[in-house]
Amino acid sequence: VVISGSYDYTVKVWDIQTGQVINDLHHHKGAVSSLKFTTDTLVTGSYVGKVAVWKIVSPTDITLRMTLKGHKDWVYAVDLSETTIISGSGDKTIKVWDAFTGKLLRTLRGH
């Protein structure tokens, strides 16, 4: 599958073989500006400074786990590991979050 974020505030999951949208996720209140996914987790960032963390069971079964709030500008980059989620923002900060609890672990300033 391919997963894409859009200015229409949605995240779409595409079947590569058919070219069809197989899931359409709605949560963000602004354009989806960044995303990263693994086999079981999807992380999306938006123009309103929020990061959404989704649980992937299958391409057609994706549910919102939590929303991470703390940026004061759009989120232009996200990444994840087994234990952390990283988000970079136009507010010149990089935030490190606990991937399980959503707790903010550290803010790196001046980027």
Q: What is the pLDDT of residue 110?
A: 84
Distance CA 45, CA 74 (A): 8
Q: Which residues contact 22 (CB under 8 A, 6 or more apart)?
A: 1, 13, 14, 15, 59, 60
DSSP three-state, residue 93: strand
Q: Is 50 exposed, middle or buried (0-12, 13-18, 19+ CB in 10 A)?
A: buried
Whole-number percent of the chain with pLDDT over 70? 99
Q: Which residues contact 68 (CB under 8 A, 6 or more apart)?
A: 50, 51, 52, 53, 85, 87, 95, 97, 102, 104
pLDDT digit string, tens, across residues 24-75: 999 999 999 999 999 999 999 999 999 999 999 999 999 999 999 999 999 9
Q: Kindly tell me if the per-residue pLDDT of 104 is higher than 80.
A: yes
Q: Kindly tell me if the per-residue pLDDT of 111 is higher than 90.
A: no
Number of alpha carbons in the 13 Å side-chain half-sphere of residue 33: 20
Mean pLDDT of all residues belonging to the chain: 97
Whole-number percent of the chain with pLDDT over 90? 98
Task: Report DSSP state, residue 40.
Answer: S
